[in-house]
């Protein structure tokens, strides 16, 4: 049996009959960039997220960049974020020559530890950037409380969490001042290339983000601000519009697969209690708060002992898995100049050695998941 980490071809088979006529329509119309189809997608995503404004952009990384540029982040400024995330979170800040300030992670959710944010705030702090890693919300109540106390805007990196709800039912990416999403193909809602989205409930921010997406231009050829080319192609918007109708069922499929993992692993733990110390399953902490989309499992990420050997063993058995992420920001060569102290990040330093993401995409079968668990148990036996 083969179990790939992700199988986008099987997803495409479900939607091919709807997507291909749309691709042809765009090809024949030669409406290439922005335009009616992008606007329609923005409206549908605003409705889905229950947010006032959405602005479609060229990627998740550009969503973060345009959000920071809209808030006038300059080289004198500091932005607080978790040290354990995908590079774009920190890269977007560093690209504006501002200083990314790193915070250690929560060992259960892998998200930023809210208890350690306040001590990192200085008079230079211009934004807090929590990340909803792997599709589970960060501790937004605690984060928003600190942000309000110091009057600091919050930019949510919700790149992996389009559709994730927080315990009050609000969608992540609509709780802070600006939310940023990615349509990278491996995200739960993936385009046929790069794409992203910015969401906000603030009318003035939304207006500025729209200008910033197109070189800060308003009206045509008049520039009050310096923006960039952060525009989305029409061809991506029609693919996303079709997929959006399936998104809830795909989230549901991922949650069902996560449940299979819990069942099969828990059965194995009963047989062999020692395994419980070697394999730690991810925890959906908002599961019992009445929120439907408590975790959308963009990744199903376990913590494991002898992780690298386990990864090799699974690869040999044709089971796809990967390490998100092997290096925290404070250890990246490009951030050496920040002179962070490694001892300040004990949790993230363990995570990078232990995390392993297993296949959880919606088209997986119960047999495939059972096979993955069997092989992991075999490795430790
Ligand atoms: C994917 C991702 C991004 C960047 O999105 P792109 O669309 O690939 O530019 C940013 N932050 C996080 C946490 C991500 O997972």
Q: Are 191 and 185 in contact (CB under 8 A)?
A: yes
Q: What is the pLDDT of residues 146-170, one digit of tens each?
A: 999 999 999 999 999 999 999 999 9
Q: Are 310 and 304 in contact (CB under 8 A)?
A: yes
Q: Are 65 and 97 in contact (CB under 8 A)?
A: no
Report, as an integer, the average pLDDT of 344-370. Answer: 98
Residue nearest atom 13 in ligand 1 by C-alpha distance: 86
Say if ligand 1 is within 6 A of residue 159 CB: yes
Query: Is the overall model pTM greater than 0.95, yes or no?
Result: yes
Q: What is the pLDDT of residues 289-337, one digit of tens each?
A: 989 999 999 999 999 999 999 999 999 999 999 999 999 999 999 999 9
Q: Are strands 78-82 and 125-128 parallel, antiparallel or unpaired?
A: parallel
Q: Is 127 exposed, middle or buried (0-12, 13-18, 19+ CB in 10 A)?
A: buried
Q: What is the pLDDT of residues 111-130, one digit of tens each?
A: 999 999 999 999 999 999 99
Please name each of the domains of the chain with its CATH number: 8-103+112-244 (3.40.640.10), 248-380 (3.90.1150.10)
Res 292: pLDDT: 92
Q: Are 204 and 46 in contact (CB under 8 A)?
A: no
* CA of 182, closest atom in ligand 1: 7
- SS3 for 73-91, per residue? CCCCCEEEEECCCCCHHHH
Say if ligand 1 is within 6 A of residue 65 CB: no
Res 66: pLDDT: 98
Q: What is the pLDDT of residues 169-227, one digit of tens each?
A: 999 999 999 999 999 999 999 999 999 999 999 999 999 999 999 999 999 999 999 99
Structure token pair of residue 373: 């668990």
Residue 373 neighbours by CB under 8 Å, 6+ apart = 261, 264, 265, 268
Q: Could you tell me which of 377, 376, 381 has the C-alpha nearest to residue 311?
A: 376
Res 219: pLDDT: 93
Q: Which residue has the tokens 């194995």?
A: 268
Res 336: pLDDT: 98
Report, as an integer, the average pLDDT of 244-268. Answer: 98
Q: Are 301 and 134 in contact (CB under 8 A)?
A: yes
Mutation test residue for ligand 1: of 159, 161, 325, the one with most atoms within 8 Å of CB: 159
pLDDT-derived band at 21 (thresholds 50, 70, 90) equals very high
Say if ligand 1 is within 6 A of residue 104 CB: no
Residue 139 neighbours by CB under 8 Å, 6+ apart = 106, 109, 111, 112, 114, 130
pLDDT-derived band at 69 (thresholds 50, 70, 90) equals very high
Q: Phi/psi zone of residue 14: left (φ > 0), alpha (ψ -120 to 50 degrees), beta?
A: alpha
């Amino acid at each position: 049996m083969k179990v790939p980490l992700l199988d986008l071809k099987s997803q495409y088979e479900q939607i091919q009959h709807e997507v291909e006529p749309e691709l042809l329509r765009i090809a024949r119309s030669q409406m290439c960039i922005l335009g009616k189809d992008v606007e329609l997608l923005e409206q549908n995503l605003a409705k889905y997220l229950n947010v006032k404004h959405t602005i479609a952009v060229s990627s998740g990384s550009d969503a973060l960049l345009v959000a920071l540029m809209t808030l006038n982040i300059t080289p004198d400024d500091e932005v607080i974020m978790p040290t354990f995330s995908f590079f774009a979170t920190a890269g977007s800040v560093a690209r504006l020559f501002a200083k990314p300030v790193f915070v250690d992670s929560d060992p259960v959710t892998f998200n930023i530890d809210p208890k350690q944010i306040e001590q990192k705030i200085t008079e230079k702090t211009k934004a807090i950037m929590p990340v909803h890693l792997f599709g589970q919300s960060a501790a937004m109540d605690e984060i928003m409380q600190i942000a309000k106390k110091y009057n600091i805007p919050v930019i949510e990196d919700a790149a992996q969490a389009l559709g994730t709800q927080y315990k009050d039912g609000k969608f992540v990416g609509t709780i802070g001042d600006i939310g940023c999403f990615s349509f990278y193909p491996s995200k739960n809602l993936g385009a046929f290339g790069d794409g992203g989205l910015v969401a906000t409930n603030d009318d003035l921010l939304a207006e500025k983000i729209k200008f910033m997406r197109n070189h800060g231009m308003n009206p045509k050829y008049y520039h009050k601000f310096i923006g960039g080319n952060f525009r989305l192609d029409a061809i991506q918007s029609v693919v996303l519009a079709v997929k959006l109708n399936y998104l809830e069922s795909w989230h549901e499929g991922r949650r069902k697969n996560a449940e299979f993992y819990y069942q099969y692993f828990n059965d194995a733990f009963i047989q062999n209690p020692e395994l419980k110390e070697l394999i730690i399953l991810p925890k959906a902490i908002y599961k019992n708060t009445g929120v439907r989309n408590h975790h959308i499992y963009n990744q199903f990420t376990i913590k494991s002992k002898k992780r690298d050997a386990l990864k090799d063993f699974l690869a040999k058995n044709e089971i796809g898995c990967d390490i998100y992420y092997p290096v925290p920001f404070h250890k990246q060569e490009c951030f050496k100049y920040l002179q962070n102290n490694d001892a300040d990040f004990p949790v993230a330093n363990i995570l990078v050695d232990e995390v392993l993401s297993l296949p959880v995409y919606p088209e997986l079968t119960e047999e495939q998941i059972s096979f993955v668990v069997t092989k992991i148990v075999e490795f430790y036996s």
